[in-house]
Structure 1
Amino acid sequence: MKTKFLLIAMLFGIVTISQAQEAQIASAKKSIASLNAKEKVINTEKHNLNREIKDLKKSEVNSRSKAQFKADFGVVSNITWVRESNVDVANFKRDNQLTKAYYDSNSQLIGTTVTKKDSELPLMAQKTLKDSYDDYTVTQILYFDDNDSNNANIILLGNEFEDKDCYIIFLTKGNDTRILQITENGEIAAEKSL
């Protein structure tokens, strides 16, 4: 009888221990699931913060572009820098003209633009404007001097222009605004409506 009682007590103890272990296992699994969920939230937050840092860095002018500018143009005073469409842009005066130098993501000069007057356009470009756009008003003329050793294209107002020396002419007629890319010999290389 004592043996049976002892066996029953042992069996009961084993079952109790087994149930306690199962409860501990279940509790540990719950804790692991909770930690995994917290880890997922932390990883998401970490990813978002890293993306924010990356976006902020994209909006900063690259110091290598500034160094390359100095190598390209020497010491120039009153330079202002901006970051536009993944391009670093230096605004400065050269030969008493407002000039912009555009640098690509590798800090290499894409080219420069200089503001021009109607009278500074080559005669063939003036003729093209008169023949095809006489009823438009010229609002701005830029001369784009391409860096021939860099194949990157210039982007102005969200429009990409091929990499060759040209005049970029902004025209308006009422609500119609256009950008023309005109070669030095007066050919229209591209036309964009805004």
Structure 2
Amino acid sequence: MKKIFLISAVFAWPLYHVWGQGTDQLDTKLIKKEKHELKREKANSVYDGAGELTLSQFNIDFGNIPIIRSETDPAYDKVIFNKDGKLYAAYYDLDTRLIGTTTEVSFADLPINAQQYINEKYPDYKKGPILLFDDNEFNPNGLILYDRAFGDEDNYFIELRKGNENIVLESSMDGEVSYFTTVRN
């Protein structure tokens, strides 16, 4: 009787490991496949960054405009969209209220006195991207651009380069220009 039990145990032992290992490998393969599918879905989704409430509020604020992508960070959600052939970024605070939008504009879009001041004071600087920040006057929260907070009002932000020096100027809608920050490479 002991021999039969011992022989059965000897033959059953390898089968036990094969069956157990097979399920572990199957589970691992299934988990890897599911992770891969989730990554693919996330990569194809423009909604993975901003929260659902922010995206709903975006649709209320801007209508049914296609979203290019959305991002989130600890301070706000950012929704990037195309409107009338121009690229915009809408910024929302933690309460899903619109802070404002940014869009790139040309130097010619600046107020004339701002253009004259910049051309006179910074003649050797190459003009880089210019952002127009359009503030939502109903939301007192400001925004952080170029790693620096600024007041909640409409402004232009003009990047200038000279050699290794990169600076950003701020211009009011009236054309008053001031130094804003230095940009690190």
Q: Same fold (TM over 0.5)?
A: yes
AA partner of residue 151 (structure 2): E
Question: Does residue 102 of structure 2 align to residue 113 of structure 1?
Answer: yes
The Cα of 1:79 is off from its aligned counterpart by 2.7
User: Larger Rg: 1 or 2?
Assistant: 1
Does the CA contact (< 8 Å) of 2:92 and 2:100 recur in 1? yes
Asked if the contact 1:89/1:103 (under 8 Å) is kept, the reply is yes
How far 1:188 moved relative to its partner? 2.3
Match in the other structure for 1:183: 172
For residues 74 and 170 of structure 2, what CA distance do their matches in structure 1 show?
A: 20
Q: Within 1, Cα distance between the matches of 2:137 and 2:73?
A: 21
Q: Distance in 1 between matches of 2:174 and 2:74?
A: 30
Deviation by residue 1:5-52 (Cα, 9 ceiling, x = unmatched): xxxxxxxxxxxxxxxxxxxxxxxxxxxxxxxxxxxxxxxxxxxxxxxx
The 5-angstrom pairing of residues 1-194 of structure 1 reads 60-194=49-183
| RMSD over aligned Cα atoms | 1.6
Separation (CA, whole Å) in 1 of partners of 2:74 and 2:160: 23
Distance 2:162 2:150 in 1: 22
Contact 2:99 2:136 in 1 (8 A): yes
2:38 alignment counterpart: none
| 1:58-117 CA-partner distances (Å, limit 9, x unpaired) | x95221111110000000114310114521111111121111100011111000011101
TM-score normalized with structure 1 length: 0.66
8 Å Cα contact 2:82/2:88 also seen in 1: yes
- The CA deviation at 1:172 is 1.1
What is the rounded CA distance, in whole Å, between the counterparts of 2:122 and 2:110 in structure 1? 15
- Runs of 5+ consecutive residues of structure 1 not aligned to the other structure: 1-58
Higher percent of residues as helix = 1
Contact 2:146 2:181 (C-alpha < 8 Å) held by counterparts:
no
Contact 1:166–1:182 (8 Å) recurs in 2: yes
Asked if the contact 1:155/1:161 (under 8 Å) is kept, the reply is: yes
**Identical amino acids, percent of aligned pairs:** 35
Change (3 A) 1:82 1:60: closer
> Which residue is 1:23 aligned to?
none
- Tell me which stretches of 4 or more aligned residues in structure 1 moved more than 3 Å: none
Distance in 2 (alpha carbons) for counterparts of 1:66 and 1:78: 9
Q: Distance in 1 between matches of 2:140 and 2:106?
A: 28
